[in-house]
Amino acid sequence: MSARHRLRLRRSGRVFVPLRQTVFTFGLSELGNYIMDMESLKQLLDNVAAGKLSVQDAAQNLKHLPFEDVDYAHIDHHRSLRKGFPEVIFGQEKTADQIIGIMEKMMIQEKIVLVTRIDELQADRVVSRFPDAVYHKDAKMIVLKKDEIPIRGKGTIVVISAGTSDIPIAKEASLTAQMMGNHVESVFDVGVAGLHRLFDHKNLIDEASVLVVVAGMEGALPSVVAGMVSRPVIAVPTSVGYGVSFGGLTALFAMLNSCSSNVAVVNIDNGFGAGYMASMINRV
């Protein structure tokens, strides 16, 4: 189907939702709210095939599958089905009311909701609205889940921080990976200024399937760790450092120029992105 044809169909009030090799169409007036990931979609289709569920009821369950417009956000309800994990709410610069409004819509459909980069004042308001939500102050994250998270990762993700000041970003990476169904171990404050501290954890490092290494200042630790292992190392530069660290740019450039070939780099202070990517690698 050409892009021009799809555009005409969208303007005529139809939304096309691709699922593997099949294309389903839903009228915009049919959108609604139900949990939908790959497992639940298969169960729904099995129930229709077995005559346990009518076509009309199945259509009702597929409401709001692509996205939901709540004025200040277009909530991507299709992401669990498309990527295996729900949309994550970036809390920075959002009001508490906006975060609450998005969470209210998501929790109808999702089994877990994460909010990143949310300060304590905003978090207090959100948690007062959702008593089952937990605020992790060290990671600046809120976790709201309906059930325990099953382990989906094949191995252990090890998160390492160079300094104590890097721990908040390391915690963001660790918590993200945990909530995506991974066994995670953490090691803190083992940077290159006292490298003997790192070697005390060599057995754990050797057993890791993926490593996330968080460092500020000169950003040297990921190269050192990557030189010790045959596993992927995700380097996270932090904005920790004195003037010429330039808010993490020095660490970022150092990591991008690593001579250890098994290093990949995420953006400055992006613990969430590192934890997410580590989780994806750990499922392969």
Taking the C-alpha atoms of residue 6 and residue 246, their distance in angstroms, rounded to an integer, is: 46
Phi, psi of 254 (to 5 degrees): -60, -40
- Contact criterion met (CB below 8 Å) for 133 and 106: no
- Give pLDDT < 50 ranges for the chain: 1-35
Residues 6+ apart with CB under 8 A from 245: 216, 217, 239, 251
Alpha-helical segments (H) within 50-195: 55-61, 79-83, 96-109, 120-129, 167-179
Helix (H) or strand (E) holding 39: helix 38-49
Helix (H) or strand (E) holding 40: helix 38-49
**The pair of three-digit structure tokens given for residue 6, joined into one six-digit string:** 């799809």
- Contact criterion met (CB below 8 Å) for 135 and 163: no
Taking the C-alpha atoms of residue 223 and residue 158, their distance in angstroms, rounded to an integer, is: 15
Q: What is the largest CA-CA distance in the chain?
A: 68
Using DSSP's 3-state secondary structure scheme, residue 172 falls into: helix
- Contact criterion met (CB below 8 Å) for 234 and 174: no
Q: What is the dihedral of CA 48, 52, 53, 55, to 10 degrees?
A: 50
Where residue 140 falls (left for φ over 0; alpha for ψ -120 to 50; beta otherwise) is: left
**The pair of three-digit structure tokens given for residue 263, joined into one six-digit string:** 């290093």
With vertex at residue 38, the alpha carbon angle to CA 36 and CA 40, rounded to the nearest 5 degrees, is 55
156-161 vs 183-187, strand pairing mode:
parallel
Predicted confidence at residue 37, as pLDDT, reads: 60
**The pair of three-digit structure tokens given for residue 197, joined into one six-digit string:** 């501290």
**The pair of three-digit structure tokens given for residue 51, joined into one six-digit string:** 């005559």
Predicted confidence at residue 60, as pLDDT, reads: 65
Predicted confidence at residue 185, as pLDDT, reads: 97
- Contact criterion met (CB below 8 Å) for 205 and 197: no
Phi, psi of 203 (to 5 degrees): -60, -45
Q: Is 23 exposed, middle or buried (0-12, 13-18, 19+ CB in 10 A)?
A: exposed
Question: What does the DSSP 8-state code read for residue 72?
Answer: S
Taking the C-alpha atoms of residue 276 and residue 212, their distance in angstroms, rounded to an integer, is: 10
